[in-house]
Structure 1
Amino acid sequence: MSAPSMTLFHNTLSPFVRKVMVLLHETGQQDRVALQDCVLSPVSPDPALNADNPLGKIPALRLADGTVIHDSRVILEYLDHQHVGNPLIPREGSARWRRLTLASMADGIMDASVMVRYELVLRAPEKHWDEWLAAQREKIRRALNLLENDAIAELTSHFDIAAISVACALGYLDLRFPDLGWREANPQLASWFFEVSQRPSMIATMPKP
């Protein structure tokens, strides 16, 4: 087995990193990538991560020639062009834009969830901005509602960029907000998530708090 030709700056708790890891497993590329752990903190930059990635985003991927690409959307697109199987991101047509739109919605759930997490963990309780927290939670609720009512058939049809992204978003909700109770309002989404959570790629990348 040859040595990995790329390095992924990652943290196993990041849902954005998990998307990349799931795609690597689904496409059989995990052995091509070495993993470099990064500490997740919005206020304490990681010098190694920031060297060629000034925004300090994870994941970031260092290619064989030393080039660093980021963020997860760019990395996923790059890696999906590096394997010989069926693409997980449609190359063209209306399917491409629909699947990327669903993936973007999942990213929005992740973004809102991370922002809520930061507000609750990094700020003293008396400084919490309750209206802002409520607005972020409402974004999550609306997105889950749309996925429940308009996207189940599409998510079920292929485990591609859309399904991977939604699955990782739901996994992050379970990790950080186990009392959210999103399943009660979204039973079809809950059933779908239960099924895809049994995939080897999802099991191998399951975050541990």
Structure 2
Amino acid sequence: MQLHDNPASPFCRIVQVLIRETGQANDVEIDPAIGHPLASEKMPVAQNPLGKIPTLSREEGPALYDSRVICRYLDARVSGGMYPDGDALWDALTLEATAHGIMDAAVLMVYEWRARPEEAYSKDWVEGQWAKVTRALDAIEARWMGHLAAPMNITHIAVGCALGYLDFRHADRDWRAGRPNLSAWFEGFATRESMKDTAPSA
């Protein structure tokens, strides 16, 4: 299998962490990709018509894309146990979606200043994206910490990578302020080898 990947992407990082947590690192070749919606020439457009990463090429079928699809596939491939059974699955998928929403908004904030000309930059739009992030973080702090105290599953990976991306691209906004429980949880989770191995540096 070949994973089209960029280490700065939090969505790619989720897949990379799951690969390590489920013991599949030796089964996946990494193909570096870089770009954004206005510069897709180095993105896997032949494998994914959306030109987005992560994308997973595989011999047994067409490429898979969207990190949530890829993670479900890789987990099922080895019965990794990263998705709870029964009713607990819906809570897990909802918290996973919350983490993805944080990442979506945080990435769009970066695209606003990277991909738009300065005269088209909208500070109000950026702050609107950050408002989504803060509401989601507050919801996790208030309602979801019990799930993060449960045995390791996809929610831990998704939330951990979302928070790591906030540190990476938006450290000046101090997401930890007023969220002591989430902050303490992340300090511990960030020490996992899978998280240290995939920490973005550029």
- Alignment TM-score, normalising by the size of structure 1: 0.92
Give 3-state SS (helix, strand or coil) of 2:173's partner.
coil
2:12 partner amino acid: V
8 Å CA contact 2:3, 2:55 repeated in 1: yes
Deviations 1:145-183 (A, max 9, x none): 000111112112122111100000000000001111111
Shift of 1:187: 1.1
In structure 2, the residue matched to 1:73 is 68
**What are the Cα deviations for residues 72-103 of structure 1, in whole angstroms up to 9, with x where unaligned?**
01000000101144x1012x421111001000
Letter in 2 for 1:132: W
Amino acid in the other structure paired with 1:117: V
Consecutive unaligned residues of structure 2, counting only runs of 5 or more, are none
Distance in structure 2 (CA, Å) of the matches to 1:202 and 1:163: 11
Q: Distance in 1 between matches of 2:194 and 2:33?
A: 21
Q: Any residues of structure 2 matched to 1:138-177 within 5 Å, and which? A: 138-177=131-170
The superposition leaves residues 113-135 of structure 1 with CA deviations (integer Å, 9 ceiling, x where unpaired) of 01111112233444221221121
Unaligned runs of 5+ in 1: 1-5
Q: Which residue of 2 aligns with 1:16?
A: 11
Instruction: Provide the rounded CA distance (Å) in 1 between the counterparts of 2:102 and 2:190.
Output: 18
1:40 to 35, 40, 61: 35
Identity of aligned residues (%): 42
CA RMSD of aligned residues (A): 1.4
Say whether residues 1:7 and 2:17 are aligned partners: no
Matched-pair contact (CA < 8 Å) for 2:35–2:42: no
Amino acid at match of 1:78: Y
Give secondary structure in 1 for the equivalent of 2:56.
strand
Question: Would the alpha carbon gap of residues 124 and 61 (structure 1) be closer, same or farther in structure 2, given more than 3 Å must change?
Answer: same
Work out which of the residue numbers 162, 167, 181 in structure 2 matches 1:188. 181
8 Å CA contact 1:11–1:40 kept in 2: the answer is no
In 2 relative to 1, CA 48–178 (structure 1 residues): closer, same or farther, beyond 3 Å? Answer: closer
Count residues in correspondence.
202
Would you say the 8 A contact 1:102–1:162 is kept in 2?
Answer: yes
The correspondence of residues 190-205 of structure 1 with structure 2, limited to 5 A, is 190-205=183-198
State whether structure 2 residue 50 is matched by structure 1 residue 55: yes
| Partner secondary structure for residue 151 of structure 1 | helix
